[in-house]
Amino acid sequence: AIYAIMAVLSLLFVMRYVIETKGKSLEEVEELLVRH
């Protein structure tokens, strides 16, 4: 059960991250990675 919860959370995080970075240049993505 714990593994399933972690899998769902990681999937949601990855989907949100991909959506946020889809329209941005590599420089903007690198800036976000450094900032977080």
pLDDT bin (cut points 50, 70, 90) of residue 16 is confident
In 10 A of CB 32, how many CB atoms?
Answer: 13
Q: Do residues 32 and 18 lie in contact, with contact meaning Cβ atoms separated by under 8 Å?
A: no
Q: Read off the pLDDT of each residue in 19-27 and give the average, rounded to a whole number.
A: 68
Q: How far is residue 26's CA from residue 3's CA, in Å, rounded to a whole number? A: 32
Q: Whole domain around residue 13: which residue ranges?
A: 2-35
Indicate the helix (H) or strand (E) that contains 22. Answer: none
Structurally, the chain folds into a number of domains equal to 1
User: 13: which 2 tokens?
Assistant: 């995080």
- pTM score above 0.75: no
